[in-house]
Amino acid sequence: MIDFRKELNPAQREAVETLDGPVLVIAGAGSGKTRTIVYRMANIVQQGHSPDSILLLTFTRKAAQEMLDRASLLLGAQGLYGVTGGTFHSFAYAWLRRYAEAMGAKNGLTVMDQSDAEGILRDIRDDLRLGKGDRSFPKRSTLLSLISKSRNKEMPIADILRGEAYHLSRYEDEIGLVAKGYESFKTRHGLLDYDDLLFGLERLLSDHAPALELARARYRFVMVDEFQDTNLVQARIVRLLAGDGGNVMAVGDDAQSIYAFRGANVHNILDFPNQFPGAKIIRLEQNYRSAQPVLDLTNAILEQAQLKFRKHLFSERKDGPLPQVFRTLSDRSQANAVVNKVLELSKKYPLHEIAVLFRAGYHSYPVEVALNKLGMRFQKFGGLRFSEAAHIKDVLGFMRLGQNPADVPSWQRVLSHIKGVGPKTVGRIYEAVLAGDNAHLAGVRRRSPEIGEVLDFLDEQRALGGTPAAMLARVLEFYTPILERKYPDDYPQRRSGLEQLERIASQYSDLEAFLGDISLENPQDEDERGKEHALVLSTVHSSKGLEWSVVLVIDLVQDRFPSRHALNSADDLEEERRLLYVACTRARDYLGLFVPSTVYNQYNHSSEPALESPFLAELPETVYESWRENFSGTMSRARDAAPAQALASPRSFGASAPAAPSAPATGKVPPSRLGYCRHKIFGRGKIVATVDGDKYRVNFPGFGLKVILANFLELE
């Protein structure tokens, strides 16, 4: 018999021993979620129930297999043979195959892979004569992605385009026709794609009583992992399987719901008690990963969340350094500050135990350049490496030819967007340029005005010269129409990467030095052994489920973290808060947060004051050490002063932050005045209470209650 008292903490044990009725396990980060699921399966069998009565639904086959293997080891010879464990999609496929005829598929089910689906979309597009000769028309992979998002989010394609691909909105009608043709084609030929499996299972369980009765009779114990990541149809399938008795355990963490872009809906877990009346809620709050100082900060991040299950993570590891917040002078100096911190911490921790996390893949570009200059090995997860991005290589090709006309690869890149231009044509142009063969070049210009435009632009670049920033600005003006034609599906994202390149270029006065630093390749080992000695760079989304001894989070300013798009929606802003929570809870020992005080504006080629991330501005100063970069480039501890951000910009947040100068500025809310006010980010709100004399609790429609310093509110 398994000794649960010895193996589990009280909350885990309660979850493992509760076998009847609906149960929601709120599993905080690092709280032993997998261990709890494994021991519960073992306990079900140990109590005499058949393994056949257990259904375990996960999001990856690997996760399901790991849990089944661990539970089998606990049970020993008794084993766990017969448990149904796997992904929602694999479970759906198995049941749809069993009832294929009942679903009208007399010849069985045929499930398409992605390449099959893309091929059908290509044929439908051609049959409808859509996008013919239009190089900007969405690629078939993009069409499939948009159709899939529409299905998973259960939203019209028009809404998907407006929210996630506005640059493709002009093709709304055409994409709608392709989607309609795609559905008709699948129906006529008895085909299913990946998304159809879930909706097919829902239809089977809803419309075919024998299937539903059999599923409920067999699966006495339904368990769902990562419930916060379920989409709407997956939540409905769980309700159908659980039945009126609701004998289901959902395990997850609302605070780690960060995949809305895939269709995940945080309200599935938040509404669980309403969907299953009488549900027992068990909170796993003991953290086995992080030191308590890290958890104190992450608890404070969640404290301001509007919709949440309350929890307070705690650890037996009470020691450990206080998290540090570094306010650098600029986003340009931030990269050097990050690398210096990595060098300092690498004396204590191996490089692969240090991670630099960021909101978007291109945010790490300045750090990558700084690491390459030092020759420090790194690996990157999420987003392309700076040196691998095709659009970056395109732009740098124009700049390299300004320095070295004999650069053959750069000639290939700057002419690659022109139809009919291949290596042989590029070679002849290259030879003619170096040999001064003006007759050949004149012939090329007559045959291809596009090539002539490139040659004229390169001549202009060489004549004007200037700083790397000035040259890059001219290149981007010339290249932007090419970017939009060459990468029609995702050019807004690529343009963001080019903006980051502008920030890097602004640090240089010499073209040779700029191109040299950009061109340095990160040293790579061919085998896996090399990764043991490589710093980790990762987007926060790619970091989920991982952990490191040291975590550094960069760009904690508005428009970057949270992203600029999130400020338009209360739901999106709350997901950004959860994203920061996920980032910080990856740290075991040390957490460092970086806040650039100014950011480079590529439109006027100067740096401007940045607004500190609202999630950081809300934190009490007791949960972190505040450090500032001096004009000498060194860091010093900020002790008895408000954060630099609050003093530098009257537009800043002030929620739960150290007090700004005590005398409110003219036009601000006076200390005793209640009523309506306006805030730079949250808009119009009602002041409902005073807090500590110089702070106010304000109710903002769509955002809820916030505590804000008086100096950051405008009286109506």
Greatest extent of the chain over all pairs of C-alpha atoms, in Å:
91
Q: DSSP letter at 295?
A: H
Q: What Rg, from alpha-carbon coordinates, does the chain have?
A: 29
28 is in an annotated binding site: yes
419 is in an annotated binding site: no
34 is in an annotated binding site: yes
8 A C-beta contact, residue 320 and residue 293: yes
**Region label for 131, one of left (φ > 0), alpha (ψ between -120 and 50) or beta (otherwise):** left
Task: Count CA atoms closer than 13 A to 503's CA, side-chain side.
Answer: 26
Instruction: Identify which of 52, 42, 54 has the alpha carbon closest to the alpha carbon of residue 78.
Output: 42
Q: DSSP letter at 607?
A: E
32 is in an annotated binding site: yes
DSSP string, 306-347: SS------B-S---SPPPEEEEES-HHHHHHHHHHHHHHHTT
8 A C-beta contact, residue 660 and residue 646: yes
**Region label for 79, one of left (φ > 0), alpha (ψ between -120 and 50) or beta (otherwise):** left
DSSP string, 436-485: T-HHHHHHHHHH-HHHHHHHHHHHHHHHH---HHHHHHHHHHHHHHHHHH
Task: Count CA atoms closer than 13 A to 105's CA, side-chain side.
Answer: 20
82 is in an annotated binding site: no
Instruction: Tell me how far apart the alpha carbons of residues 496 and 494 are, in angstroms, rounded to a whole number.
Output: 5
Instruction: Tell me how far apart the alpha carbons of residues 249 and 27 are, in angstroms, rounded to a whole number.
Output: 12
Sort 183 into a burial class: Cβ within 10 Å, 0-12 / 13-18 / 19+.
middle
Instruction: Identify which of 257, 194, 201, 197 has the alpha carbon closest to the alpha carbon of residue 227.
Output: 257
Instruction: Identify which of 393, 397, 457, 460 has the alpha carbon closest to the alpha carbon of residue 426.
Output: 397
Instruction: Tell me how far apart the alpha carbons of residues 461 and 395 are, in angstroms, rounded to a whole number.
Output: 13
Annotated binding-site residues read 27-34
Residue ranges of the annotated binding site for ATP are 27-34
